[in-house]
Structure 1
Amino acid sequence: MCGGVTFNHSGQDYRVFFPNPNAVLPVRMKNGSHLLLPWGRRREQSGSLPVGGWARLDSVYSGVWDKYFPTPVKIDVSSFMEKDYEGKSRWFDLLPGKYIQGLVAKNRNEQRIYVVTMEPDSTMAEFHDRMPRIMFG
């Protein structure tokens, strides 16, 4: 379900895991620059956006997220981590030109990014019941 990512921002390498309340994800802007946004919301964090760090693709399509004015974005990471059914962390590299689809949700002055997830393809089904949606350039 994408519990961690690695990326480079402004020449610094990051390894970020969702449980960290300071977790951020890099959004690739249309001009090629990056913006770091808070990754989801944890129960202990204030705010009114949904708790969690993920948005199921089917819930996006069905309008569940509409009240948060969702904006689709590209999350620019070099790899992501999934925990398999036994709880072991597995890292997967993304090739250049591939991104994780994100959803930026907003409510008043609050803005957070959620990883869009979907049912896994055959290569990922052995690891988890959901996987991040991968996009091309």
Structure 2
Amino acid sequence: MCGGVTFQQEQETIRTFFPNPKSCLPVRSKRGQIVLVPWGRREKQPGFTPLGGWARLESIHSGKWNNYNPRPVKIMIDGFMEKDQQGNSHWYTLGEDEFIQGLLTEDAGITRIYVVTITDPQSQHKSTRWPRILKHQENNLGE
């Protein structure tokens, strides 16, 4: 389900995990720059966006996120971590031409990023959710 990520920032390898309330994900801006954006919302954090750090693709298509000015973005990471049903961590590496689709939201002046997920049999997590991995030339929403 993508509970942690690794990426490069200023020649340093960063590992961050969703449970950390200060976690940010690297997002490619419209101008091509990499910007760090807070990852999801946790209890006691301000705003009204959904709690958690993930957005199901089908919930995006059904309009659940429409009140939060949603925008598809590219999360530029090297790899991600998923826990299996026993709680063991497994790391997966993305190819150089791949990214994880993110959903950028705005609410009460706060911008947040959510990892877009799909149901996928390769997920070892009990939710069977897997981050939506795309190649740079693909349409972000797959419509």
| TM-score, L = length of structure 2 | 0.90
For the 8 Å contact 1:25–1:113, the answer to whether it is kept is: yes
CA distance in 1, matches of 2:54, 2:16: 15
Q: Per-residue deviation at 1:85?
A: 1.1
1:80 partner letter: F
Aligned positions of 1:108-127 closer than 5 A: 108-120=108-120, 122=121, 124-125=122-123, 127=124
- Aligned counterpart, 2:54: 54
For the 8 Å contact 1:27–1:74, the answer to whether it is kept is: yes
- Aligned counterpart, 2:14: 14
CA distance in 1, matches of 2:16, 2:52: 15
Q: Per-residue deviation at 1:33?
A: 1.6
Aligned positions of 1:95-106 closer than 5 A: 95-106=95-106
Q: Mark the runs of 5 or more structure 1 residues left unpaired by the alignment.
A: none
Deviations 1:26-80 (A, max 9, x none): 0012443200000001112122221100000000000000011100000000000
| TM-score, L = length of structure 1 | 0.93
Identity %: 51
- Aligned counterpart, 1:132: 131
Q: Where do 4+ consecutive residues of structure 1 move more than 4 Å?
A: none
CA distance in 1, matches of 2:24, 2:40: 9
Q: Secondary structure at the match of 1:91?
A: strand
Q: Per-residue deviation at 1:83?
A: 0.4
- Aligned counterpart, 1:70: 70
Aligned residues: 134
